[in-house]
A and B are shown apart, each in its own frame.
Chain A
C-alpha cells in the first residue's frame, strides 16, 4: 500500500517562530488533507490540497503532486498551535480510504 512519511516527528518552537512540516508519499494521490489533532482527539481540517498552494491566515500549504510531497507552513507560531499534525492521502484509483502518516508533534513554548 501507499506509504506516507512525515518529518520531523517532533518539533519544539518558541512562540513567534516559523516552521515547515513535510509529508512525503510513495505513489500518485488524488486527495491530500492536513489535519491538526487537538489534545481531546478531535481532527481539525486545515487544508484539502491535492495540488497547488493554499493559505489560511498564518498557515499555508503546498502540494507538488508530481514530486510526491506536501509542505505545511506555520508562521508566527502560537501556543495554541501545539498538538499533532497529520497528513493523509487517498491513492489514485482508490475511492475510499485516507492513509495517514504517523504525525508530527509540535510544541510551542511561550
Chain B
C-alpha cells in the first residue's frame, strides 16, 4: 500500500510568481486536505476536497485554490506569491471527511518565496 506522496520536495519562487503543488492520496482514500505550516507553528487548514468537490475552507485568501482529480490526487495552486507564503505545505488523505476518519499526512513541500 502506497502512502501519501507530495511533489516537489522543495521549491524556491520569487514574490509575485505562481506555484502548483501536487499530492497523491493513499490507496483507497477519496478525501484530500491541505495545510500550511509556518516555522515554529502548528499546521493551519487551507481546504479539503471530498470526491472532487471543495468541502470546507480555512481562513486563506482566494489566491489559494485547489483541485481534485478523478483518481483523488490533488493540486494546490497559489497565485501572486508573497513572502509570508514561505512555509511547509502538507497534504493529508483519508477514507472520508476529517470529522470521522483518521488523516494521514504526506512528507510535505517546503516552499521558499524570495
Which B positions have Cβ atoms within 8 angstroms of A? Answer: 33, 35, 37, 41-45, 47-48, 55-56, 58, 88, 90, 92, 97-108, 110
Known pairs A96-B33, A96-B45, A96-B55 / 11 extra A-B pairs, C-beta < 8 Å: A35-B105, A41-B108, A45-B102, A88-B43, A94-B98, A95-B100, A96-B98, A97-B45, A97-B56, A98-B43, A100-B42
A83 contacts chain B at the CB level, 8 A cutoff: no
Given contacts A96-B33, A98-B33, A100-B42, whether A31 and B107 have CB atoms under 8 Å apart is no
Give the docked Cα–Cα distance between A70 and B32 (Å).
Answer: 26
List 6 A-B pairs, minimum CB-CB distance, nearest first: A96-B56, A100-B42, A97-B45, A95-B99, A43-B105, A95-B97
Give a binary string over A69-110; 1 marks a CB under 8 Å from any B CB, 0 the rest: 000000000000000001010101011111111110000000
Give the docked Cα–Cα distance between A33 and B45 (Å).
Answer: 15
